């Protein structure tokens, strides 16, 4: 299967600080990758680097065979990379509906499909972004990324800080996106056990480098690398 | 490119509401009913259009400007010079004012893009000051401190001649104002307008979901400059004179005051602010000719301290009681 994303010795960071250190990575179309690691190991920076909001310090990034290393974030986004950042960054002045439609691009994902996936958003479509709960904001952030009709979606700790019942709802949505829709995905997540069940492959980062790469199923069957690099066998 | 569904939903959002329709009907009614006030109403229409142009960049794109009068002045001088040296047709003069201001806006937009709020305030202020000094020094072209004289306008559409009492001038300004307001309104309820709000909220995030931030800001800054230029051109044509005052700092400050009074980010704030500002100015300057600016300042401080939201809620409460069905718009 052809690769949708290739990272070749990519290094990046903020200002003079190098956070991601020479990472090589290949992701095939329709495949999903879990990015695991302790806090401060470069997981979020890796996603930020792929979307282009960090300082590029070396290496090359290819998306669908095209070198995007020097492209602006907006060009990468419209080329087919959706990003759901850790902070969610909902546009507070826009309603739920406007948050979705402001960036919509033609394709299978439209507001009706997003509302079908997240009925809570349909109920609150006239509410402003700053009137939503944390879970609703996360649903909106995912929905908004889908409205770009991306071929690759980057999800940065999508369940962080959410109530268990909301986490379950989101995980069901992620399962549909990753497993049923066949969208390529990279997911940074603290809940290793949960995300490993959804993804095809996994990597563990430490100090900005990949220290372990394996199919997710292998990590679930043999969690020793999780214990070694994360200290525990992943949060449940 | 937005989807068809997105566009149709935005069309719904852009639907005219009853208070808006009533407002414009009242404005139209002022033509036959308030004939003795046409001169001051002309001035209000012009400064309201200027404030609306500032609201486009401040209220929607989050670009604070202390030098928006640069475009107002550029439009005024361009229209005046165009009438003297090319043709004195009013409508062509408006186009000349808009084009001159748009070119200036486009050229200076790249300076504005480079910084955050404080930088933008200083850059916009600097551009206006530089233009003001150029207008002052280039006396052979602009008339310098004496202003540009000899601006005589032909009848509008070859039929309606500007009169001494400002009747034709007011109708002309009101029509131009309405047309440009509709254009501005259409812009802000389009996907383009929503993307401006997204940029105002979070530029980094906006870029990462595919919004070309710099291109959008450049576009809206240029459009805003063009509208401000038309406002300046209207002043030049109705006054048939261009004072160097069109580039003075206080004009930019006045427009900001109007938006403070009326509120930003919904276009009508500029109109409400312009009406309130001018009416206050008229009343206070008659009541206390020497200290009217003091009272304007005091009222402004009161608005900021009490909060426009609270005042607005009071007004909407009265409206709700009158209509018996909760606040509109």
Which of the residues A102, A108, A144 would you substitute to probe the B interface, choosing the one with the greatest number of B C-beta atoms within 10 Å?
A102
- Dihedral angle of Cα A35, A37, A38, A44, to the nearest 10 degrees: -30
- In whole numbers, what is the pLDDT of chain B averaged over residues? 88
Using a CB–CB cutoff of 8 Å, tell me whether B195 touches chain A.
Answer: yes
Q: What DSSP assignment string belongs to A72-85? A: -HHHHHHHTEEEE-
Q: Which of A53, A89, A148 is the closest to B210 by Cβ?
A: A148
Q: What integer is the mean pLDDT of B216-224?
A: 96
> How does residue A186 score in pLDDT terms, banded at 50, 70 and 90?
very high
Q: Which of A52, A102, A129 is the closest to B195 by Cβ?
A: A102
- Which pLDDT tens digit goes with each residue over A96-112? 998 888 878 888 999 99
Please indicate whether, in this complex, the C-beta atoms of A145 and B209 are within 8 angstroms of each other: yes
In the prediction, which pLDDT does B54 show? 96
In the prediction, which pLDDT does A20 show? 93
Q: What is the ipTM of this complex?
A: 0.71
Q: Of the candidates A191, A156, A201, A170, which has an alpha carbon nearest to the alpha carbon of residue A31?
A: A201
Q: Which of B195, B209, B212 is the closest to A83 by Cβ?
A: B209
CA distance B147 to B143: 5
CA distance B252 to B246: 10
Inter-residue contact B86 to B105 (CB < 8 Å): no
> How does residue A181 score in pLDDT terms, banded at 50, 70 and 90?
confident
Range of the domain at B124: 32-270
- Dihedral angle of Cα B321, B323, B325, B328, to the nearest 10 degrees: -100
* ∠ Cα A88 A90 A94 (to 5°): 170
Whether residue B89 is contained in a domain is answered as yes
A202 or B118, greater pLDDT: A202
CA distance A81 to A145: 8
Backbone conformation region of residue B150, classed left if phi is above 0, alpha if psi is from -120 to 50, else beta: left
Helix (H) or strand (E) run with residue B123 in it: helix B117-137
Which range among A1-15, A79-93, B59-73 shows the weakest confidence by mean pLDDT? A79-93
Closest A-chain CA to B62: A93
- In whole numbers, what is the pLDDT of chain A averaged over residues? 89
Strand-by-strand arrangement of the A3-14 sheet: A17-28, A3-14, A55-63, A66-67
- The distance of B198 to chain A (nearest Cα, Å) reads 6
- Please list every residue in chain B whose beta carbon sits closer than 8 Å to the beta carbon of residue A83: 208-209
Q: Roughly what angle, to the nearest 10 degrees, separates helices B167-188 and B38-55? A: 20
Whether residue B194 is contained in a domain is answered as yes
Helix (H) or strand (E) run with residue A123 in it: helix A119-123
In the prediction, which pLDDT does B285 show? 86
Whether residue B40 is contained in a domain is answered as yes
Inter-residue contact A151 to A184 (CB < 8 Å): yes
Using a CB–CB cutoff of 8 Å, tell me whether A126 touches chain B.
Answer: no
- Please list every residue in chain B whose beta carbon sits closer than 8 Å to the beta carbon of residue A99: 198
Which range among B25-34, B148-157, B244-253, B281-290 shows the weakest confidence by mean pLDDT? B281-290
Inter-residue contact A19 to A37 (CB < 8 Å): no
Please indicate whether, in this complex, the C-beta atoms of B210 and A145 are within 8 angstroms of each other: no
- Which pLDDT tens digit goes with each residue over B180-209? 999 999 999 888 998 999 999 888 888 888
- Which pLDDT tens digit goes with each residue over B41-78? 999 999 999 999 999 999 999 998 999 999 999 999 99
CA distance A145 to A137: 12
Whether residue B317 is contained in a domain is answered as no
- Which pLDDT tens digit goes with each residue over B272-306? 999 998 888 888 888 888 888 888 888 888 877 77
In the prediction, which pLDDT does B113 show? 82
Q: Which of A72, A93, A105 is the closest to B201 by Cβ?
A: A93
Please indicate whether, in this complex, the C-beta atoms of B210 and A52 are within 8 angstroms of each other: no
Q: What integer is the mean pLDDT of A51-58?
A: 92
Q: Which of B200, B201, B205 is the closest to A85 by Cβ?
A: B205
pLDDT of A37 > 50? The answer is: yes
Exposure pattern of A174-206 as b/e (b: 16+ CB <10 Å)?
beebbeebebbbbbbbbbbbbbbebbbbbbbbb
> How does residue B252 score in pLDDT terms, banded at 50, 70 and 90?
very high
How many other β-carbons are positioned within 10 Å of the β-carbon of residue B74?
29
Whether residue B235 is contained in a domain is answered as yes
**Of chain A residues 80-99, which have a CB less than 8 A from chain B?**
82-83, 85, 89, 91-94, 97-99
pLDDT of A177 > 50? The answer is: yes
- Which pLDDT tens digit goes with each residue over B177-187? 999 999 999 99
Q: Roughly what angle, to the nearest 10 degrees, separates helices B292-306 and B308-323? A: 80
- Give just the sign of the alpha carbon dihedral B121, B59, B69, B276: negative
Closest B-chain CA to A98: B194
pLDDT of B174 > 90? The answer is: yes
Q: Is A1 helix (H, G, I), strand (E, B) or coil?
A: coil
Domains and CATH numbers, chain A: 3-230 (3.40.50.300)
- The distance of A160 to chain B (nearest Cα, Å) reads 19
CA A179 from centre of chain = 15
Inter-residue contact A34 to A202 (CB < 8 Å): yes
Residues 6+ positions from B289 with CB-CB distance below 8 Å: none
Q: How far is CA B66 from CA A94, A193, B71, B124, B243, in A?
A: 27, 55, 12, 6, 20
Which of the residues B203, B209, B214, B264 would you substitute to probe the A interface, choosing the one with the greatest number of A C-beta atoms within 10 Å?
B209
Please indicate whether, in this complex, the C-beta atoms of A77 and B191 are within 8 angstroms of each other: no
Closest A-chain CA to B205: A89
Inter-residue contact B51 to B271 (CB < 8 Å): yes
* Structural domains of chain B, count: 1
pLDDT of A236 > 50? The answer is: no
Q: Which of B10, B201, B209 is the closest to A103 by Cβ?
A: B209
Closest A-chain CA to B266: A93
In the prediction, which pLDDT does B10 show? 58
In the prediction, which pLDDT does B328 show? 37
CA distance B37 to B7: 41
In the prediction, which pLDDT does A228 show? 84
> How does residue B8 score in pLDDT terms, banded at 50, 70 and 90?
low
Q: What is the DSSP letter of A159?
A: T
> How does residue A68 score in pLDDT terms, banded at 50, 70 and 90?
very high
In the prediction, which pLDDT does B233 show? 97
CA distance B254 to A79: 44
- What values do phi and psi take at A25, rounded to 5? -155, 140
In the prediction, which pLDDT does B271 show? 94
> How does residue A76 score in pLDDT terms, banded at 50, 70 and 90?
very high
In the prediction, which pLDDT does B280 show? 87
B82 or A168, greater pLDDT: B82
pLDDT of B312 > 70? The answer is: no
Please indicate whether, in this complex, the C-beta atoms of A74 and B191 are within 8 angstroms of each other: no
Give chain B's radius of gyration (CA, Å).
20
End-to-end CA distance of chain A: 32
> How does residue B326 score in pLDDT terms, banded at 50, 70 and 90?
very low
- Please list every residue in chain A whose beta carbon sits closer than 8 Å to the beta carbon of residue B200: 93
In the prediction, which pLDDT does A58 show? 93
**Across-strand partners of A82?**
A153
Tokens at residue A87, please? 């902070």
């Amino acid at each position: 299967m052809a690769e949708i994303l290739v990272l070749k010795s990519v290094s990046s960071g903020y200002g003079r600080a190098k956070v991601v250190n020479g990472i090589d990575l290949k992701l095939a179309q329709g495949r999903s990758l879990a990015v695991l690691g302790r806090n401060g190991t470069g997981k979020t920076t890796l996603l930020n680097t792929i979307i282009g909001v960090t300082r590029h310090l070396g290496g090359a990034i290819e998306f669908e065979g095209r070198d995007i290393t020097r492209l602006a974030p907006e060009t990468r986004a419209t080329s087919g990379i959706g990003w759901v950042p850790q902070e969610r960054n909902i546009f507070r002045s826009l309603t739920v509906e406007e948050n979705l439609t402001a960036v919509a691009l033609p394709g299978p994902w439209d507001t009706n499909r997003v509302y079908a996936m997240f009925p809570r958003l349909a109920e609150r479509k006239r509410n402003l972004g700053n009137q939503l709960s944390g879970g609703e904001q996360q649903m909106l952030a995912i929905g908004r990324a889908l409205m770009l009709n991306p071929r690759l979606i980057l999800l940065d700790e999508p369940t962080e800080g959410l109530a268990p019942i909301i986490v379950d709802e989101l995980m069901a949505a992620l399962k549909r996106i990753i497993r049923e829709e066949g969208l390529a995905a990279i997911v940074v997540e603290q809940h290793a056990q949960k995300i490993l069940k959804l993804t095809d492959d996994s990597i563990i980062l430490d100090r900005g480098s990949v220290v372990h790469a394996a199919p997710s199923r292998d990590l679930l069957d043999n969690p020793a690398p999780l214990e070694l690099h994360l200290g525990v066998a992943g949060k449940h | 490119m937005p989807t068809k569904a997105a566009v149709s939903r935005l069309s719904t959002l852009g639907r005219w509401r009853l208070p808006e329709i009533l407002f414009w009907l009242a404005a139209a009614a002022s033509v036959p009913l308030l004939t003795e006030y046409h001169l001051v109403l002309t001035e209000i229409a012009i400064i309201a259009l200027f404030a609306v142009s500032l609201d486009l960049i401040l209220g929607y794109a989050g670009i604070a400007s202390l030098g928006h009068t640069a475009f107002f002045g550029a439009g005024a001088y361009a229209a005046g010079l165009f009438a003297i040296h090319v043709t004195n047709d009013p409508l062509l003069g408006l186009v000349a004012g808009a084009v001159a201001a748009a070119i200036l806006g486009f050229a200076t937009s790249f300076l504005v893009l480079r910084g955050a709020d404080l930088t933008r305030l200083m850059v916009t202020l600097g551009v206006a000051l530089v233009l003001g000094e150029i207008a002052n020094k280039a006396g052979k072209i602009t008339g310098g401190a004496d202003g540009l004289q000899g601006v005589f306008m032909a009848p509008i559409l070859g039929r309606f001649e500007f009169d001494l009492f400002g009747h034709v001038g007011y109708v002309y300004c009101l029509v131009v104002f309405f047309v440009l307001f509709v254009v501005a309104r259409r812009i802000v309820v389009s996907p383009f307008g929503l993307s401006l709000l997204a940029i105002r909220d979070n530029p980094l995030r906006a870029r990462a979901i595919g919004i070309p931030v710099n291109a959008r800001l450049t576009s809206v800054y240029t459009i805003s400059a063009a509208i401000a230029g038309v406002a300046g051109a209207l002043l030049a044509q109705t006054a048939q004179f261009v004072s160097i005052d069109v580039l003075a700092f206080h004009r930019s400050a006045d427009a900001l005051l109007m938006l403070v009074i009326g509120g930003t980010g919904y276009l009508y704030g500029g109109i409400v602010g312009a009406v309130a500002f001018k009416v206050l100015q008229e009343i206070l300057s008659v009541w206390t000719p020497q200290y009217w600016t003091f009272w304007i300042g005091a009222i402004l401080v009161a608005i900021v301290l009490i909060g426009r939201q609270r005042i607005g809620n009071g007004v909407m409460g009265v409206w709700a009681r009158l209509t018996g069905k909760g606040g509109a718009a």
